Structure 1
Amino acid sequence: MKRFTVALLAIGVIACTSKDSNHKNTNLQKETDAETPVGMVFIPGGTFVMGNEGEEATAIEGPEFAVELSGFYMDETEVTNTQFQKFVDATGYKTVAERPVDWEDLKKQLPAGVEKPADSLLQPGSLIFAPIPNVTNLYDISQWWAWQIGTDWKHPYGPGSDIVGKGNHPVVHMAHEDAEAYAKWAGKRLPTEAEWEYASRAGSQLPFAWGEELTPAGQFLANFFQGTFPGGNSKQDGFEKSAPVKSYPPNAYGLYDMIGNVWEWTSDWYRPDSHLQSKKKAITICRNPTGPESSYDPREPQVPKRVIKGGSFLCSDQYCSNYRPSARMATAIDSGQEHLGFRCVISVKD
């Protein structure tokens, strides 16, 4: 399980048309003129240029290619602690971070020859942001990520923490299957990467949905890291960690926190060349892409990963400026982290 990897180690073919199995919600499909589900907004279908080939973009954000999407509904906010609590109360669900650790499963994702740690270390937990003093190497994430036993969505900063008074904060320490379980219970699904990016752009092809600058006229429009990363957060935006949902203005579609706050899961498997393969396969335009059929990250080829989008309260221009709609990262499907959550969508019936 990738959720242990940092601690233990010191710290295909693209589908350019949607698959029915991925997009049908038989109980909750809506006509475009039907009433919008509570807590969601309607995202009208349309076309856009996905990806980014600009100077600020990373290699995996390109190349740009044309995408056409059908309309859908999307949660106006990230799923909150209160919403997830209702799911747990109704189902008794236990997240990945709360379950016993299976060493046989874990070692499949580790380099050959890694010895089994003591059973006292193979306990449920997750990754928390805990930077060491005087970080000198911004390529060594073990200097600010720490495996903490007893950490989960109810204890987001370690076993001594809780979510009292934080019901309207996004739920975090979500593995991909946790997000999928909630979505299924709610009669929804996770968005594709294309849907997520399209909704985040809200009709704009600018670097940010609101314009060219991250902080126009010094105004903070999203929750991200200010100061010296990782240990010197100046909190100019008012928040050191996650912010309550709706703390910032929505985009033109009425969606909140599509940039910053917490990373959000998508349904797409991760490959660094996803955009290139989509562009090659599409003759003129890629319709309702659902991403690769399998995962591959050359840095960790044994670890299955999905795409996450949006950046988080830890994104900084000094290290991880991934708060653009086009930005994308790979995360192991069983990884729970302090800055990782999700939101859901519902397909619109044709």
Structure 2
Amino acid sequence: MDPKPVNHAAWINSLGMSFAEVPVGTGSILVAREETQERHLALFRRSRNQPFSHAARPATQVSWTEAVAFCDWLTQRERAAGGLSFRQRYRLPSDHEWSCAAGIGHLESATRRPEEKSNRLPGHYPWGRAWPPPQDAGNLCGEESAGDFPDNFIAGYQDAWSGGEVHARASGPNPYGLYDLGGNVWEWCQDRYREDKDWRVLRGGSWKSARRETLLTSHRTHDPENYRSDSVGFRCVLAEE
């Protein structure tokens, strides 16, 4: 059974990050409707004497370690201000929670390892079942990027961005009111890809992604916890401990 859309009424936190409810198992969590932006990280980075920007675009060059530290900082900040209870916290989504947000959680086992589930659902993309993607699918590596990536672009698809540009809400919303679960930037998850490595799971593809396999909703890739890239960012969730 396909997941049912839920109320798109958003909860907005002290940094202006908007969250929507996503069912997970018998409960639910709040998932950021957009990827974390440079402006959301500004106060956090300033507190650590790091360069920062107030740009309203998805943050890139963010390691898993930094993303986790930001979630912890924001949790403590909002608890101290009375905006969160001591049972609530911001964190990265689990691999299974990310699948639920992207609409395939009901098709996967919540207990299997990410590596075991990667690419197991052919024909399921964040935007639906079509290939090439429909026009509002997101910031992918389409024909507009053929000059930059002549051997790696999606024939029959074009979007408005090339050359590494990333934009908030580059895709249309999914049934839960979430944007950019396909393309734009890869998104860190909590989980290890393999238990014996510090490789953390990344989901969703990026502006560099063109291969069908890479853009499957079930695709997982991985990188070390301190890895940074112009195609990697993250999305927060808010849940009870």
Mark yes or no: TM-score above 0.5: yes
- Does residue 312 in structure 1 map to residue 229 in structure 2? no
8 A contact 1:208–1:325 mirrored in 2: yes
1:1-350 matched pairs, under 5 angstroms: 37-38=11-12, 39-46=18-25, 70-89=27-46, 91-92=47-48, 94=50, 167-187=55-75, 188-201=90-103, 207-215=124-132, 218-227=134-143, 228=146, 231-232=149-150, 236-240=158-162, 241-271=164-194, 294-296=195-197, 304-317=198-211, 321-348=213-240
Q: Using the alignment, how far apart are the partners of 1:244 and 1:264 within structure 2?
A: 14
Distance 1:74 1:337, change over 3 A: same
Q: Using the alignment, how far apart are the partners of 1:261 and 1:214 within structure 2?
A: 18
- Calculate percent identity across the aligned residue pairs: 26
Distance 1:231 1:340, change over 3 A: same
Q: Using the alignment, how far apart are the partners of 1:203 and 1:252 within structure 2?
A: 14
Q: Using the alignment, how far apart are the partners of 1:209 and 1:295 within structure 2?
A: 30
Of 78-87 and 199-208, the range deviating more from structure 2? 199-208
Count of residue pairs brought into register by the alignment: 193
Residue ranges of structure 1 left out of the alignment (5+ in a row): 1-32, 47-68, 95-152, 155-162, 272-293, 297-303
1:290-327 superposed Cα distances (whole Å, 9 cap, x missing partner): xxxx343xxxxxxx21011000000012xx74222211
Aligned-pair CA distance for 1:37: 3.1
Specify the alignment match of 2:110 in structure 1: none
Instruction: Tell me the TM-score normalised to structure 1 length.
Output: 0.50
In angstroms, what is the RMSD of aligned CA positions? 2.9
Greater Rg by CA: 1
Q: What letter matches 1:207 in structure 2?
A: H
3-state SS of 2:91 partner: coil
Residue ranges of structure 2 left out of the alignment (5+ in a row): 1-6, 13-17, 76-89, 108-122
Q: Deviating runs (4+, > 6 A) in structure 1?
A: none
Distance 1:177 1:344, change over 3 A: same
Q: What letter matches 1:84 in structure 2?
A: L
Distance 1:321 1:315, change over 3 A: farther
Aligned-pair CA distance for 1:332: 0.9
Instruction: Tell me the TM-score normalised to structure 2 length.
Output: 0.70
